[in-house]
């Protein structure tokens, strides 16, 4: 399956991961899935308008100077793609699975997360990549090639710009194994503004990485990833 079959919660991320873009479709009831359409309810944000879920790449959180009004509808995703940002100069000189351009993480935290991500990839074959940013300071679309994003990759962007700090772009192969409700529950638990304001952005990032790692290690079945740990 191609890497284009991806979806994102909260803030759409990397537009060039998909070969084309379409305009948002009308809103659907909360947690109702129609063909290529996904809608979620997150406690701190309310109901989000649904858009074609496999065309929701790293677009807003990584790239554009886009308003909150744009996120909630009114302008199509194709229009949003025109404002993509690509700043490879903000990438580290050497490859890293954790990029913190916002300064949310200490050196020790970055090393712990990188070690957990390396162990996860060795054990499962799934690739988790973490970008901590505070828009507009972001490498933008440059992370796609830097990380060689494919259908076994989860791109986790920690950006508090729009309230909920946890944003995910999920590869097609990961999507086959992980219930989509997991990502909304994860964002609702550790990404809401009350949590990261009290605990800190670093705590939200670490908790999310560990929860994703635990989920991806669970045997695939009807009850996998039913709890966010």
| pLDDT profile of the chain (229 residues), mean per 10 | 41 37 36 37 39 38 33 32 73 97 97 98 97 91 94 96 92 93 95 96 97 95 88
**pLDDT at position 229:** 81
Q: Read off the tokens for 165.
A: 């700090």
Backbone angles phi, psi at 162, to 5 degrees: -110, 25
Integer CA distances (angstroms), 74 to 12, 48, 53, in order: 15, 13, 17
Task: Reduce the DSSP state of residue 124 to 3 states and report it.
Answer: helix
**pLDDT at position 149:** 95
In words, the CATH class of domain 7-217 is alpha beta
C-alpha triplet 184, 144, 78: angle, nearest 5°: 70
Around Cβ 181, how many Cβ atoms within 10 Å?
Answer: 12
Task: Reduce the DSSP state of residue 29 to 3 states and report it.
Answer: coil
**pLDDT at position 84:** 64
**pLDDT at position 83:** 53
**pLDDT at position 202:** 97
**pLDDT at position 135:** 86
List, in order, residues 6 or more apart from 199 with CB less than 8 Å away: none
Is the full-model pTM beyond 0.85?
Answer: no
- Asked whether the beta carbons of 191 and 166 are under 8 A apart, the reply is yes
């Amino acid at each position: 399956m191609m890497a284009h079959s991806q979806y994102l919660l909260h803030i759409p991320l990397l537009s060039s991961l998909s070969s084309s873009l379409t305009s948002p479709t009308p809103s659907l009831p909360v947690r109702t899935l129609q063909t290529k359409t996904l809608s979620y309810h997150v406690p701190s944000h309310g109901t989000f308008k649904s858009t074609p879920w496999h065309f929701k790449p790293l677009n807003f959180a990584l790239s554009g100077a886009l308003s909150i009004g744009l996120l909630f509808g009114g302008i199509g995703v194709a229009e949003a793609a025109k404002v993509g940002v690509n700043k490879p100069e903000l990438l580290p000189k050497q490859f890293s699975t954790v990029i913190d351009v916002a300064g949310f993480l200490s050196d020790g935290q970055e090393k712990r997360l990188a070690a957990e991500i390396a162990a996860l990839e060795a054990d499962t074959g799934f690739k988790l990549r973490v970008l901590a940013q505070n828009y507009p300071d972001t490498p933008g679309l440059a992370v796609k090639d830097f990380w060689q994003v494919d259908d076994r990759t989860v791109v986790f962007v920690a950006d508090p710009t729009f309230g909920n700090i946890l944003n995910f772009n999920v590869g097609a192969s990961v999507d086959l194994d992980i219930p989509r409700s997991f990502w909304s529950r994860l964002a609702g638990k550790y990404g809401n503004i009350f949590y990261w304001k009290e605990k800190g952005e670093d705590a939200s990032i670490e908790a999310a990485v560990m929860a994703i790692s635990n989920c991806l290690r669970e045997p695939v079945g009807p009850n996998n990833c039913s709890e966010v740990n």
